[in-house]
Chain A
Amino acid sequence: MGNPVDPGDIQKSMIKDEKADKRRKNILNLVLLALLLVAPAVIYPVFLMKILCFALFAVAFNLLLGFTGLLSFGHAAFLAAGGYTTGYLLSTYSGLTTEMGIIAGTLAATVLGALFAVVAIRRQGIYFAMITLALAQLVYFGFVQAPFTGGEDGMHGVPRGHLFGIIDLENNLAMYYFVLAVFLGGYLLVQRVVGSPYGQVLKAIKQNEPRAVSLGYNVNQYKVLAFVMSAGLAGLAGSVKTVVFQLASLNDAHWHMSGEVILMTLLGGTGTLLGPVFGATFVVNLEYQLSQGPLGDWVDPILGGIFVLTVIAFQSGIVGEVQKFVKKNLG
């Protein structure tokens, strides 16, 4: 204070800080990527794929909750729409290559997302959440009644098929690296979106919506786009998941699933890119471990307890708390 400051210097130091920050993040991401590349040598690939599918689902959800400030309580609908569409197409048309089935599933979820968004976007907070829940319930009962979903029994025996018509995905390792590539694509897309000029506007809307309006932004249009992208990516996660497990079931469309993705995201840390990934990993692991032991019937109450604890004690989630710690002690 008191000393004259040169605006040029401040700008330079800002850009330098940004670059250093970026470099740190890149190093961390590369380490995580290396771990994911070698992971199937140690851990059962199908289990890893399950984690990656849910991680992508949570990353998609977080684009909305963490970076736009909208709480959707209906994201299961998009996961299921992607899954059922892909499952149905791959089961019915044997000439279809796997990636085409997945693209179709993603598109279906994107369209459904646009419909949801148009209806729900004018509402805020709890009303927005309730409308998305209601719409997702409509979709759920649609899936229960629709002839092609197999109703309560679900859709079984979906062929994994060949990627681009060449690579046989029955091989678990080939499937794993494909799922990893899809996950990375989705993750990097969200990273790009969040850091883009559009992402800045989303941030502004999340932090102070009336102010964003008064600066000339038509906020509903921005929110709709975020919602549609989020729904599309959730659908992508569902499509890939169906190919991995060769089945699509009502579990994916149930509101429990919408709740679970909220839990994953909050637990990992909203508003951070890696948070949902860790949250999904944690929840999927915990469910698996518990189901193996004597506490199998206690999965839901235990998850509920963890949820309450997160909301009360560490609201920034796993990644958020770690970031805070690093900033405080090393920054």
Chain B
Amino acid sequence: MSDQFVLETRGLVKEFKGFVAVDDVNLKVQRGHIHALIGPNGAGKTTVFNLLTKFLQPTHGKILFNGKDITALKSAAIARKGVVRSFQISAVFPHMTALENIRVALQSFQGNSFQFWKSGASLNKLNERCMELLDAVGLTEFANTTTVELAYGRKRALELATTLAMEPELLLLDEPTQGMGREDVDRVVHLVRKAAEGRTVLMVEHNLSVVSTLCDRITVLAQGAVLTEGGYQEVSEDPRVREVYMGSAKTTQEAVE
């Protein structure tokens, strides 16, 4: 059933000189799920993301998207196929306005990006769609604000809107709530849930309460390898998971508190 899984990895391995960062990872992300990738620091979560989007080259293994092998594609081509990622540190274009940030993403599909002889006003036809996307993340009034002046939480919201502008089939979110206060976290949870309508999300997340409220399925990585996979209840009761997180027999539930 290739239709059931949007993304699949087979025997994915990444070795850095004498160090195996990702060790034989077989991941299956089901269509329509919000799938979490969790694990302690250094477990290889971000490396997996970098492999999936080809910011790093896998040493071995295959990556399948909608059943097709995309292992040989370059980063930009993968993004165009519909696998779009966000970054751990907020990835915006700081000296462009919020609207321009989104417009650059929309422009990616316009086929005019090499037209150096054309007036920039030709991009204004995209503004309406930009405003819709800004509205969806509650940034309407900041459309004309230079991004560097936005608060951190709003930058992350803008980043999400920019990512959504690509109409990705599969959204890869690298710690969307990292470094956020309680209020911002709630907002991001809300945004991710909204964004996930009609698409699939794979997210790296440290905040286990976010994982428990949002995610349908969880894969736990430890030392580059898959430790276990399952629903939240199942995973949180797994003694091995407690072991890697706490080095003791505390439950992950306690770890959250």
User: Does B96 lie at the interface of the complex (its beta carbon under 8 Å from any beta carbon of A)?
Assistant: yes
Segment touching A, from B83-91, B175-183, B232-240: B83-91
B95 at interface by CB-CB < 8 Å: yes
Question: Which parts of A188-211 form the interface with B (CB within 8 Å)?
Answer: 192-193, 195-201, 203-204, 207-208, 210-211
Asked if B141 and A10 sit within 8 Å, CB to CB, the answer is yes
Alpha-carbon distance A192/B119, docked complex (angstroms): 7
- Closest CB-CB distance, B134 to chain A, in whole Å? 8
Bound Cα distance from A203 to B92, whole angstroms: 12
Q: Is A225 touching B116 in the complex (CB atoms < 8 A)?
A: yes
Q: Is B192 an interface residue (CB 8 A)?
A: no
Contacts of B110 in A (CB 8 A): 197
Which residues, 218 to 266 on A, are CB-close (under 8 Å) to B? 218-219, 221-222, 225, 229
Stretch at the interface among B37-45, B98-106, B245-253: B98-106
Query: Which chain B residues border A197 with CB–CB below 8 Å?
Result: 107, 110, 112-113, 115, 118, 120, 122-123
**Interface class of chain A by DSSP:** helix
Query: Known contacts being A196-B120, A216-B76, A219-B76, is A204 close to B143, with CB within 8 Å?
Result: no
Neighbouring B residues of A208 by C-beta, 8 Å? 91-94
Check A7/B140 contact, CB under 8 A, given A210-B55, A229-B116: yes
- Find chain A residues with CB under 8 A from B109 CB: 216
CB distance from A141 to the nearest CB of B (A): 33
Is B76 a contact of A217 with CB atoms below 8 Å?
A: yes
Q: Does A213 count as interface, using CB distance less than 8 angstroms? A: yes
Closest approach, in angstroms, between the C-beta of B46 and any C-beta of chain A?
A: 12
On whether A15 and B124 interact (CB within 8 A), knowing A196-B119, A200-B107, the answer reads yes
Asked if A200 contacts B114 (CB within 8 A), the reply is no
Of all chain A residues, the one with the shortest Cβ separation from B126 is A197
Question: In the complex, which of the residues A11, A211, A221, A222 contacts B87, with contact meaning CB atoms closer than 8 Å?
Answer: A211
Minimum CB–CB distance from B136 to chain A (whole Å) comes to: 11
Q: Which of A13, A195, A215 has the most CB of B within 10 A?
A: A215
Q: Can you name the residue of chain A whose Cβ is closest to the Cβ of B127?
A: A11
A302 touches B (CB below 8 Å): no
Residue of A nearest to B143 (CB): A10
- Do B87 and A5 have beta carbons less than 8 Å apart? no
Q: Is A17 an interface residue (CB 8 A)?
A: yes
Query: Quick one: closest A residue to B165, CB to CB?
Result: A215
* Smallest Cβ-Cβ distance to B91: which chain A residue: A211
Taking a contact as CB atoms under 8 Å apart, the answer to whether B166 and A216 are in contact is yes
Say whether A214 faces chain B, with CB atoms less than 8 Å apart.
yes
Q: Which residues of A contact B141 (CB under 8 A)?
A: 1, 5, 10
Contact with A along B127-155 (1 / 0, CB 8 A): 11001101100001101100000000000
Shortest CB distance A139–B (Å): 26
| B219 contacts chain A at the CB level, 8 A cutoff | no
Residues A215 and B105 in contact, CB atoms below 8 Å apart? yes
Q: Does A14 lie at the interface of the complex (its beta carbon under 8 Å from any beta carbon of B)?
A: yes
Tell me if A211 and B120 are in contact (CB < 8 A): no
- What sequence of 0s and 1s flags, for each residue 60-104 of chain B, a beta carbon within 8 Å of any chain A beta carbon? 000000000000001111011000111100011111100110011
Q: Does B117 contact A (CB under 8 A)?
A: yes
Instruction: Assess whether B108 is interfacial by the CB under 8 Å rule.
Output: yes
Contacts of A215 in B (CB 8 A): 79, 84, 104-105, 108, 162, 166
Distance A15 CA – B113 CA, assembled complex (angstroms): 21
Nearest A residue to B76 via CB reads A218
Please determine whether B131 and A207 come into contact, CB atoms closer than 8 angstroms: no
Contact status A5-B140, CB under 8 Å? yes
- Please state if B85 and A204 are interface contacts (CB–CB under 8 Å): no
A199 and B96 contacting across the interface, CB-CB below 8 Å: no
- Does B53 have its Cβ within 8 Å of any Cβ on chain A? yes
Chain A: CB-nearest residue to B53? A214
On chain B, the residues within 8 Å of A196 by CB distance are 115-120
Q: Which residues of A contact B128 (CB under 8 A)?
A: 11
> Which A residue's beta carbon lies closest to that of B148?
A207
| Nearest A-chain residue to B55, judged by Cβ | A210
A213 and B84 contact, CB distance less than 8 A? no
Measured CA separation A291–B86 after assembly (Å): 55
Chain A contacts for B103, CB-based, 8 A: 200
In the complex, chain A residues whose CB is within 8 Å of the CB of B120: 195-197, 199-200
CA distance A158 to B30 in the complex (A): 72
Closest to A203 in B: B96
A19 CB to nearest chain B CB (Å): 10
Contact A198/B123 with A7-B131, A217-B76 known, Cβ cut-off 8 Å? no
Q: Which residue of B lies closest to A204 (CB)?
A: B104
Q: Give chain A nearest CB distance to B125 CB in angstroms.
A: 11
A–B Cβ pairs within 8 angstroms, 7 of them:
A5-B140, A197-B110, A197-B123, A207-B93, A213-B76, A215-B104, A225-B116
* 6 smallest beta-carbon distances between A and B, as pairs: A216-B79, A198-B116, A7-B131, A211-B91, A195-B120, A207-B93
Chain A residues within CB distance 8 Å of chain B: 1, 5, 7, 10-11, 13-15, 17, 192-193, 195-201, 203-204, 207-208, 210-219, 221-222, 225, 229
Interface set of B (CB-CB < 8 Å, partner A) = 53, 55, 74-77, 79-80, 84-87, 91-96, 99-100, 103-105, 107-110, 112-120, 122-124, 127-128, 131-132, 134-135, 140-141, 143-144, 162, 166
Beyond the given A7-B143, A14-B143, A216-B109, please list 12 additional residue pairs across the A-B interface where CB-CB is below 8 A: A7-B131, A7-B134, A7-B140, A197-B118, A200-B120, A201-B113, A203-B93, A207-B96, A210-B91, A214-B91, A216-B80, A218-B77
